[in-house]
Amino acid sequence: MTTITLDQNFVSLDNFGHSMRASSFTFKPTRADEIEEAFQLAKKTGLTVTARGAGRSYNDASLNGGGIVLDLTSMNHIIKWDPAKGVVIAEPGVTLQQLWQTTEPDGWWPPVVSGTMLTTLGGCLAANVHGKNNFKVGPIGEHVIEFNAILPTGAEITCSPKKNADLFYAMISGLGMLGIFTSITMQMNRIYSGLLEVHARPVRDLHEHLSVILENAPAYDYIVGWLDATAGGRGLGRGQIHATNYLHEGDDPDPQKTMSLKNQMLPSRIFGVFPKSILYIFMGPFMNNLGVWAVNTGKYMASLPRHTFRESHAAFHFLLDYVPNFELSYGRGGLIEYQSFLPKESAEAAWTEMLRLSLKCGLPSYLGVTKRHRPDKFLLTHAVDGFSLALDFKVTNGNRAKLSQMLQEFDRIVLDAGGRFYFAKNSETTSESTTRFLGAETIEKFKKLKKRCDPNELLESNLYRRVFG
C-alpha cells in the first residue's frame, strides 16, 4: 500500500472556468484501500476530504481549500463490458470519452452524457448530470444498475434502487459528500447507427423559443436550444433549436461504418488545415460585448433557413469539445456559468426579466443554452417539469463584484418563480437560497444521512461549505 503523507503535493487547483482557485493536499489513489487511507489521515490531522474527477464542474464542487483532494483520474479502468446486454462496470475515473469509445463500435451509446466527454463517471454520478434528453430519460442516475462506494467510516457498500435505496438516491446527486464511488454498473442504450438526424429551426424570441421546445420535445429523442443572450428588444431570447432523433434499425445502410471510431472522432483541424488546439487564441479578441454580439448576429442570420442533417453522436453531444480549451478564450478572469431550472409556467417571465437585467447591466451572457426537463427522485435534484437556461459569463477583475450582485438578483428571480439550481454549475448560490429551493425537509434528510455515513464530517468541499453552511 502506498502511504500518503502531508509533506508534499500542496497544489493550487481551479474550477473548469479558471475563475475560482484553492490550494489542497492532492493525492491520486489507484485503489479503494488508498481512499480509506486518506480518510484515516484526515481523521488524524483534522483535515477534510473532497473527491475530484476531471475537475470539469463550473464551480467549487471539487475544490477544498486547505484540505485534502482525492484526484480519482487514475482509477480509470473499464472492469467489464458486456456487448450482448450493453452493461458496463467501470471505475469512477473512467471518462465519458473512454465509455462511448468502448461501447459505440458494439452498437451502444451512454444513455445520458454531459456537453463534454471529458467528465468522469464518478463526477457525473455525484452531480447526477442531465443530457439533452433529460425530458425523456431522466438524469444519469436512472441508468445506474448499482454502484460500490467507500464511506468515511471505512465501510464499503453496494447500492442499487433496491439495496440501500436511501443511499442510492442520495449519493447520486450528493456531490461526493456522503462517500466515494469506487465502481459503477450502468446500462447503455442500443443504437442502430452512428448518426443522428437533426432538425434545425430558428426561433425569433423567447416565447417562440420555449413554445417550440415544449411542443416538439415529445416527438424527439433529444432537444436543445442555442439562445442569443446579446439580442434585446423584440429579439430577446431568439436562437435556434436542434430537435434530434436516433435512426431506427434499417435506416442506416452501413451502421458498422458510421459507428466506427474513425467516423465519430471530432476533427483535430478546421477545414482540414488549421489546428483546433490553438483556435481559442483567435477567439480571444472577439470575447467582448461587441465581438460576441457580431458573432451571434451572424450565427442567427445563418440559422434562418430550417434544415435537416445527419451528424455523428460525438459531434451532436460534444459540441463544446469542438474547440479544445475554449474556456481559455475568456481571458485571465475566466468564466462562470449560471444555470437555472424553471417550471414551464414561470420560465418565460423569469428569463425575460433576467435577460433584460443582464443587458441593462452591460453584462450579457456570451453563450446561452436551453433544455427541456422532467422531475426525478434523487434527493438533491435540480430538475423540474420545465426548462433550464445555462448562461456563461466572462469574469474580469473589473466586473466581478457587479456580476456577483447581478447573479444574486437572478437567484431572487428564480426562487420567486419556483425554480431550482444545479450544484455543478452555479457559484453564487447561498445556503439561504439552497434551503428555499430544496426545502428544509430535504436538507434535514440529507444531513441525517451525512451523520450516518460521515459521523466525523470528513467529507467537505468549498461548495458544501457554501451551500450547506
- Relative orientation angle of helices 431-438 and 400-416, to the nearest 10 degrees: 20
Rounded Cα distance, 369 and 382, in Å: 16
Positions 307 through 366 that interact with ligand FAD (CB under 6 A): 320
Report CA torsion sign: 88, 90, 92, 96: negative
Decide if 12 contacts 21 (C-beta within 8 A).
Answer: yes
Residue showing cell 444498475: 145
Contact between 123 and ligand FAD by CB under 6 A: the answer reads yes
Residue 403 binds to ligand FAD (criterion: CB under 6 A): no
Partners of 10 in the beta sheet? 25
C-alpha cell read off for 420: 431550482
Q: Which stretch binds ligand FAD (CB under 6 A): 6-14, 25-33, 117-125, 292-300?
A: 117-125
Rounded-to-integer distance, Cα 114 and Cα 124, Å: 8
Among residues 4, 56, 293, 380, which is the contact residue for ligand FAD, using CB under 6 A? 56
Instruction: Provide the sign of the torsion angle of the four alpha carbons 347, 350, 351, 352, taken in this order.
Output: positive
**Is position 53 an interface residue for ligand FAD (rule: CB under 6 A)?**
yes
Q: Which stretch binds ligand FAD (CB under 6 A): 46-54, 247-255, 306-314, 400-408?
A: 46-54
- Binding residue for ligand FAD, selected from 50, 193, 258, 358, defined by CB under 6 A: 50
Cβ nearer to ligand FAD, comparing 205 with 454: 454
- Site residues for ligand FAD, 13-32, by CB under 6 A, read 16
Query: Quick one: 132 or 252, whose CB is closer to ligand FAD?
Result: 132
| CB nearer ligand FAD, residue 14 or residue 353 | 14
| Nearest in space to 380 (alpha carbons), one of 179, 180, 174 | 174
Residue closer to ligand FAD by CB (options 107, 123) is: 123
Site for ligand FAD contains 130 (CB under 6 A): yes
The residue from 48, 76, 120, 370 that contacts ligand FAD (CB under 6 A) is: 120
Residues 67, 111, 122, 419: which binds ligand FAD (CB under 6 A)? 122
Q: Residue 449, interface with ligand FAD (CB under 6 A)? A: no
Q: Could you tell me how many helices (H) and strands (E) the chain has, helices first?
A: 16, 21
Of these, 115, 152, 225, 364, which contacts ligand FAD (CB under 6 A)? 115
SS3 breakdown of the chain: % helix, strand, coil, rounded to 5?
35, 25, 40
Q: CA 148, CA 311: separation in Å to the nearest integer?
A: 36
**DSSP structure string for 261-324:** HHHHSPPSEETTTEEGGGHHHHHGGG-SHHHHHHHHHHHHHHT-S-EEEEEEHHHHHTGGGSST
Is residue 111 within the footprint of ligand FAD (CB under 6 A)?
Answer: no
The CB-of-320 to ligand FAD minimum distance in angstroms stands at 4
* Cα–Cα nearest to 392, from 420, 409, 369, 408: 369
Which of 42, 72, 292, 467 is in the footprint of ligand FAD by CB under 6 A?
Answer: 72
52 binds ligand FAD (CB under 6 A): yes
429 interacts with ligand FAD by CB under 6 A = no
Under the binding rule (CB under 6 A), the answer on residue 157 touching ligand FAD is no
Is residue 170 part of the contact set for ligand FAD (CB under 6 A)? no
Q: Is 176 in the site for ligand FAD (CB under 6 A)?
A: yes
Comparing CA positions, the residue from 370, 381, 377, 376 lying closest to residue 132 is 370
CB 389 within 8 A of CB 339: yes
> DSSP code of 117?
T
- Rounded Cα distance, 410 and 358, in Å: 9
- Considering the rule CB under 6 A, would residue 244 count as an interface residue with ligand FAD? no
CB 442 within 8 A of CB 379: yes
Contact status: 427 vs ligand FAD (CB under 6 A): no
Residue numbers of the site for ligand FAD (CB under 6 A)?
16, 50-57, 61-62, 72, 92, 114-116, 119-120, 122-124, 126-127, 129-130, 175-176, 180-181, 320, 424, 461
